[in-house]
Structure formats: C-alpha cells, structure tokens
Amino acid sequence: MSKKCCCGNDKTVQFKELAPTMEKYANTPGSLITILQKAQEIYGYLSIDVINYISDCTGIKPAKIYGVATFYAQFRLQPIGKNLIMLCQGTACHVNGSEQIEESVCEYLDIKDGETTSDGIFTLNNVACLGCCSLAPVMMVRSSEGDETYGNLTKEKVTKILDEIRARE
C-alpha cells in the first residue's frame, strides 16, 4: 500500500463519503479490512466500482481486494434488502429449532440464505451466533432504524414479525 492516495481524482466525487477513510488509511499497511468495513458501512455492500476505487487509492490489485472480501463472511458483494434478517444458527438456537425457523422464513419470503426478496425489502443471512442464547431461537433484523432482536421464535411468531415489518415499508 505504498501508492499515493487517489483522493482528488474524478472518482473522489463519486465516492466522496469514502474519501476521508482513503486519506487516512490508503497508505497504511494492513488497513485493507478497515477500508472495506467502512466502504460497506457507507454503501451497504462492496460493488466492483468501490473495489476498483480502493485499488486505485491503495495500489492493491482488485483481485487481491476481491479475495479478501470473499474470504471474510462479513463482506457482501451484492446489495441487500432494506431489512437484513440475521438468523442465528448457533448451538443454543439450533437445539431450540432454528432450522424450522429458517424453513418458515424461506418459505414465507420465497428466498434462501443469502438471497433478497424480489421487492428488495428483506435479505436473509444465517449467522453463527448473535450472543442471545437465552432467547433461542433468535433473529436480529437490521434496518435504517437500527437493529431489533426477536427471541423465543416460533413459525407463527416469525411470520407475524415479517408481516409487521413489511407493513411498515
């Protein structure tokens, strides 16, 4: 990462929210993950344009950036829905029926893990653990309003929650 930061070129206007992060970290060895996290926080996912901009600024080849982004589960390369459903699949949730909850969500929304509904309202992501084991099975829904955690889920309860969220949209 020894290349001079690209801040100031034409792409800086397109990626103005990310420019301060690039100014700070583009020439700092070992900061790629920090840059990718900030880019995803700003844009919701890592588009090819964002990856190329980061490459221009850092001198890291796009293929290497893509490799890092696909290695870590925290990074997304596709846009997500307005509501990101993070369904816990940890041990406590698993033994308390998270697989049945996943089946219910998938059937009700007509998507699979990692997919987004055709209307763009929901994206489903199975996660290893949400740290809410006493509420198992549990899911967290991330939206522009913040994160909301729902516990002690049943098929009926999850359907009702999804209906309520959809009605708000």
* Straight-line distance from the first to the last Cα atom of the chain, in angstroms, rounded to the nearest whole number: 43
Q: What is the pLDDT of residue 169?
A: 84
Residue 74: what residue type?
Q
pLDDT per residue as tens digits for the range 128-153: 999 999 999 999 999 989 999 999 99
Q: Are 54 and 60 in contact (CB under 8 A)?
A: yes
pLDDT per residue as tens digits for the range 10-54: 566 789 999 999 999 999 999 999 999 999 999 989 999 999 999
Q: What is the pLDDT of residue 7?
A: 53
Cα 90 to Cα 125: distance, rounded to the nearest angstrom: 13
For the question of whether the overall pTM of this predicted structure is more than 0.95, the answer is no
Q: Where are the alpha helices (DSSP H) in the chain?
A: 10-14, 19-25, 32-43, 48-58, 62-71, 91-95, 98-109, 155-168
Q: Does residue 1 register a pLDDT over 70?
A: no
State both tokens at 77. Answer: 């390369």
Q: What is the pLDDT of residue 8?
A: 52
Q: What is the DSSP letter of 132?
A: -
